[in-house]
Structure 1
Amino acid sequence: MIINKTDARANITNNLKLVELQIPLNGLHGERIDCFIDQIIHSLRRTHYIDTIKQRDISEARIYPNNNQFDPLKASIFHFKNNNIDEAIWLIYLSTFFGKNIDSGWNLLRLVYLGYNSQWTFENISNNFKEFSKWYKESWKEISSTNSKKNKFGNHRKYSTLDPEKKLNPIDCFEDYIDKVGVNHESLFNFIEENSKIKKVSKFSLIYKYSNYKGFGRMSKFDFSSMICKIGVIESEIDRAFINKSTGPLSGLKDLLDNQNIKPQEAELVFNKINDLLDLGPFRGQVLEDAICNWQKSPNKFKKFSL
């Protein structure tokens, strides 16, 4: 999806006026307005990046971690297009768990996924977890630093650890994920499909609810669930953001309203109302969440904060 900046600005400006009729945005004035709109446009472009990639032919080289073209998200799309759903979701999980670092990129994920003479695909690690655990304990120090470069977790995973002796290390977290998923992801996603109709909530909301994997906080659950929907494994709009459990987005909404005393539960309702009125498309929950979070870091001057 190509985002035309001129058209997007006009639509957002008009829709902000609709928001103001119902919800006074007292923190949005002067140069802050243009800055906020620029963050929304930037967020639209980032959020729809996967849509753009899905339209292209993806080289098979992208799926192999021993290839310098390896990219876990493009690999996930490749596997999804080739009906290897388990591997597509496993790569979404890994990309969420490790994150993309501003300096070392996906290298930490790549080296763990690569293994030693045995790529740790979902099938392989599920069937040979003891072997993975043994290999990881022997390899984690070497993995953490290659070619004089420190391989790190992404910015949002800064409290994560590679040390197998510490809590929430990859061995413990992967084991928890595999135990909860089972032999494949089919039963979980059948459950999501069926209960979405029964409970009349979005499939995205249910994925989020049931993504209580070890080491996953609110942001990891949100990113994991969003990517599953954007790649198309589950077809659902990203209609919410669960900001009542957030830090940056909740802080940003308070600044937008110029109301530091609003309760998290009420803030969630207000966010959803603004989200609907702005009409930012099928991924609107993530678009607005990302935009508000980045805007509050620099409300008067537009800055790019995302990779």
Structure 2
Amino acid sequence: MVGIHKDRVNEFLGRIGQVDAQFGPLSGIATAQRRLCWAHQIVSSLRRISYTDTLLMRGVDPARCDPHSGIFDPVRGALHLQRHGQLDEAVWLTFILTHFGKHAADEWKLAGNVYGTFGAGPVWTFTHYSADPNAFESMLTANSGRLADANVSGSFSNHRKFQSKKPQAIAKTFRTYYAWQTEFGGFRERMIATHASVGQEPRAAFDALYNSMKGVFGFGGGRLGRFDFLTMLGKLQLAPITPGSVYLDKATGPLAGARLLFFGDREHHITGRALESRIDALDEVFGVGKQVIEDSLCNWQKSPDVYEYFRG
């Protein structure tokens, strides 16, 4: 392993030993090989977050916002919009990048095609979508054949691979998400209302926003979409929020990792809700944040004995 945080593997091996001592011998990390593998996954998760931290210190080309550009990158694009006082546009683009995700091979192709009408029409910015949501839905229907052909449209990321590319499904996600962002007027107003309700503590605000997204189609029924979206808002400094929990209820990969860690069995019957406090407590040992804990466990359980790098 090379790059930032690579020198922390031994540090995390020591902390994994502390986990084992604190909770009792854990069957999932009974071997040195498994401990090493998990330590490497923790480092990989930290590096992914550090990448966003690095972007915050760099300039951004405006073309990063343009889906018709060869350098379209909605993560950088959201930063550019935020820096130019366009908070609603930045949050909207963060929703789009989260919903479609960055595919291992296609990268931002699917997000760019939908956001930019397959290179042939308007860009569906927050402002443009607000003016005519029905036109957006008509655009999706007109391009249903392109959406169905992954070679043309591109594909969802691994985190979003179970989402549908049918026009009505995408339209419903956009429609219900837009209703969420604009419920109080705009995103700034939603944050004001959240702070008025639960206070300004970042973890409490994150939890309130997480629970408020239950009605967003493709996000609210599970937990990964909401978790990824809100953590990205925090990482990009679009909202003063941070997760205070791994939110294991309705989780898949992170829950399998938690079960494997504590019981040596990905399919153990224990629920995510029952395990959540124990996994949250791991951050008291590691001090890396809840997102790193859940991401590293998710990736570790895929290959617990041999380290593999996963993009997410």
**Is the pair's TM-score, using the shorter chain for normalization, greater than 0.5?**
yes
Structure 2 residue 272 is the aligned partner of structure 1 residue 264? yes
- Tell me how far apart the structure 2 counterparts of residues 198 and 100 of structure 1 sit (CA, whole Å): 31
Match of 2:233 in 1: 228
What's the RMSD between the two structures over aligned residues? 2.1
Q: Which runs of 5+ in 2 are unaligned?
A: none
Structure 2 residue 116 is the aligned partner of structure 1 residue 85? no
Match of 1:128 in 2: 132
Deviations 1:195-240 (A, max 9, x none): 3428895322222222221111211011011101100111233332
Q: Is the 8 A contact 1:173 1:215 kept in 2?
A: yes
Q: Secondary structure at the match of 1:243?
A: coil
Structure 2 residue 62 is the aligned partner of structure 1 residue 99? no
Match of 1:189 in 2: 191
Structure 2 residue 116 is the aligned partner of structure 1 residue 114? yes
Q: Which has the higher contact order (CA 8 A, sep 6+)?
A: 1
Match of 1:60 in 2: 62
Match of 1:218 in 2: 223
AA matched with 1:266: A
- Tell me how far apart the structure 2 counterparts of residues 84 and 240 of structure 1 sit (CA, whole Å): 30
Q: Which runs of 4+ in 1 moved over 6 A?
A: none
- Tell me how far apart the structure 1 counterparts of residues 200 and 75 of structure 2 sit (CA, whole Å): 31
Q: Is the 8 A contact 1:95 1:109 kept in 2?
A: yes
Q: Secondary structure at the match of 1:232?
A: coil
**Superposition deviation, residue 266 in structure 1:** 2.4
Structure 2 residue 162 is the aligned partner of structure 1 residue 154? no
TM-score when scaled to structure 1? 0.90
**Superposition deviation, residue 102 in structure 1:** 2.1
Report the CA distance shift for 1:263/1:130 in structure 2 as closer, same or farther (over 3 A): closer
Match of 1:178 in 2: 178
TM-score when scaled to structure 2? 0.88
**2:50 pairs with one of 48, 51, 67:** 48
Q: Is the 8 A contact 1:66 1:114 kept in 2?
A: yes
Q: Secondary structure at the match of 1:48?
A: helix
**Superposition deviation, residue 184 in structure 1:** 2.0
Q: Which runs of 5+ in 1 are unaligned?
A: none
Q: Secondary structure at the match of 2:142?
A: helix
Report the CA distance shift for 1:102/1:300 in structure 2 as closer, same or farther (over 3 A): same
AA matched with 1:16: I
- Tell me how far apart the structure 1 counterparts of residues 302 and 202 of structure 2 sit (CA, whole Å): 36
Match of 2:254 in 1: 249
Deviations 1:181-200 (A, max 9, x none): 22421221112233342889
AA matched with 2:217: K
- Tell me how far apart the structure 2 counterparts of residues 82 and 219 of structure 1 sit (CA, whole Å): 29
Q: Report percent identity of matched pairs.
A: 28
Report the CA distance shift for 1:131/1:150 in structure 2 as closer, same or farther (over 3 A): closer
Deviations 1:84-123 (A, max 9, x none): 1111111111111112222322111101111243211001
**1:286 pairs with one of 266, 291, 312:** 291
- Tell me how far apart the structure 2 counterparts of residues 181 and 143 of structure 1 sit (CA, whole Å): 26
Structure 1 range deviating more: 203-212 or 121-130: 203-212
- Tell me how far apart the structure 2 counterparts of residues 195 and 278 of structure 1 sit (CA, whole Å): 31
**Superposition deviation, residue 276 in structure 1:** 1.9
**Superposition deviation, residue 160 in structure 1:** 1.9
Match of 2:32 in 1: 30
Structure 1 range deviating more: 30-39 or 259-268: 259-268
Match of 1:5 in 2: 6
- Tell me how far apart the structure 1 counterparts of residues 165 and 272 of structure 2 sit (CA, whole Å): 33
